[in-house]
Structure 1
Amino acid sequence: MSKTRTRKSDARQRLIETAEQLLYAEGIQAVGIDRIIAEAGVAKMTLYNHFPSKDDLVLAVLEFREAKFDAMFEKWMERHRKAGMDGLEAFFAALKDWFKSPGFRGCMFINSNVELADAEHAASKFSAQHKERFYEMLKQNIAEYAGTTKADMVAPAIALMVEGAIVTAVMQQSIEPADVARDAALMLVSKSSRKRK
C-alpha cells in the first residue's frame, strides 16, 4: 500500500474514531462537523473526501461502533464463561461490565435512533439491524441455557428486559439494572420450564 493511501485510510479511521467518541458522549445533534474535524486534526476537505455528508459519517461511526462493541462484549462474556458461568449468566455479567465501563452513556444505537427520529435514515436502519443481531446473540445464549424451544418462547420478553436495563442503567447511573434483568430472565426461564412439564 502506498504512503498516500495509508495516510488517507489513517485520516478516515481517525475521523471515525474521533466522531464515535464525541457522538457517543454528547449526541449526534450536539456535535458539529467542525468540531469533529478540529479534534481529529484533519482538513475539512479530507472529511468530505471520505464522507460526503454528516449522515455518511454517522453511518460509518455506527458500523465501527458495532464491531468495537461486539468484540468488547464477547471478550467480557468469554472471561465470565472461563470463570464457570453458562452463556446466559455470562451475558448478564457482561452487560453489567458494560454498565460499569468508563463513560457509559447507554446504547449508541438506541441513542442514535431517538436523535435521528427518522426510521428511514440509513443510520436508523443500521441501528435497527444491530438490535436484531444483538437479539439473536442473546437468544443463542438463552438456548444454551434452556434449550431452543424455551429460547423461542422467552427470548422476546428477555430482550425487552435487557433493553429496559440499558435505559434504566443510564437514567439511574447504576449497574443494578443488569442484576434485576438477570434475575427476572432466570425466573422467566424457570417458569416456562414448569409450564412445559
Structure 2
Amino acid sequence: MRILETASRLFYERGIRAVGVEAIAEEAGVTKKTLYDRFGSKDDLILAYLRARDGLWRSTLVKYVNESDGPPEKKLLATFGALHCWMRERNPRGCAFVNAHVELPADHPGQEIAREQKAWMLAYMEDLAAEAGAESPDTLAAQLLILHEGACIANSMRSVDDAARRAEQMAEILIGHALAR
C-alpha cells in the first residue's frame, strides 16, 4: 500500500513527529481524505508503520538464522549477521523502535509496540541460547540483546566502524563462556 510505504519511509528517515499527514498524502499521491479513510488518524498510521517494521525485522531475522549452518550456538551468532545486513540495507538511522520510543509520548500505544518488539527479541534470543545449551539462557540472551542494541546505536551515530561485526566478536566470547560452564 502506497500510503503505508510512504509513511514508513518518511517516519523512519525524518522522524515521526517531523512528518505530517499532508506530507505523507502528497508524497503518496493521495488526498488527506484518502489517508484518513484508510488509517483513521496519524496515530493509527504510526501503529501500522511500527507493526509493519516489526514484522519485517522478525521475518528477516528468523529467515537469516534458520538459513545459518552449523551447531545451535552459530544461530546466536547469526543474529548479528542478520543485524549487519539489516543495518546496511534498512537501518542507517538506528532502531526504529528506539527512535519511536524517544519520539512518542509515554502513553502513546506505539510505546507498547516498541516494548513488545524488544520483549520478542529477548525471548527469541533466550530460545536460541537454551537450544545452544547455555546454563543461563536468560542471562546470555540479555547480554546479546544489549550488544544488538549497542551496535544499532554505534552504527547510526557512526561512532564505531563495523559495529555489528564487532558486537558479533564480543558475542562469540560471551557465548563461549556461557557454554563452557
Total equivalences in the alignment: 179
Q: Does 1:133 align with 2:120?
A: yes
Counterpart residue number, 2:42 = 54
Change (3 A) 1:67 1:175: farther
Is the Cα contact below 8 Å between 1:91 and 1:141 reproduced in 2?
A: no
Partner of 1:186: 172
Q: 1:132 to 1:188 in 2, by over 3 A?
A: same
Match of 2:131 in 1: 144
Could you list the per-position Cα deviations for residues 144-163 of structure 1 after superposition, in whole angstroms to 9, with x for gaps in the alignment?
A: 33x15331232212211111
**Equivalent pair of 1:99/1:174 in contact (CA under 8 Å):** no
Contact 1:25 1:103 in 2 (8 A): no
Out of 14, 17, 21, the residue aligned to residue 2 of structure 2 is 14
Aligned twin of 2:148: 162
Secondary structure of 1:101's match?
helix
* SS in structure 2 at match of 1:149: coil
TM-align CA RMSD: 2.1
**Residues in 2 aligned to 1:23 and 1:29: alpha-carbon distance in whole angstroms:** 8
- Identity within the alignment, %: 35
Q: What's the CA shift string for 1:75-129, capped at 9, x where partnerless? A: 33344x14x472112111111111221563211111111111x232101111111
Structure 1: any 5+ residue segments left out of the alignment? Answer: 1-12
On the 8 A contact 1:37/1:44 being kept in 2, the answer is yes
- The Cα of 1:55 is off from its aligned counterpart by 1.1
Larger Rg: 1
- Counterpart in 2 of 1:110? 98
Query: Unaligned 5+ residue runs, structure 2?
Result: none
| Among 5, 8, 16, the residue aligned to 1:28 | 16
CA–CA distance in structure 1, aligned partners of residues 134 and 175 of structure 2: 12
Query: Could you tell me the TM-score, scaled by structure 2's length?
Result: 0.88
Which amino acid in 2 is paired with 1:32? Answer: G
Describe the SS at the equivalent of 2:173.
helix
- Structure 1 stretches of 4+ with a deviation exceeding 4 A read none
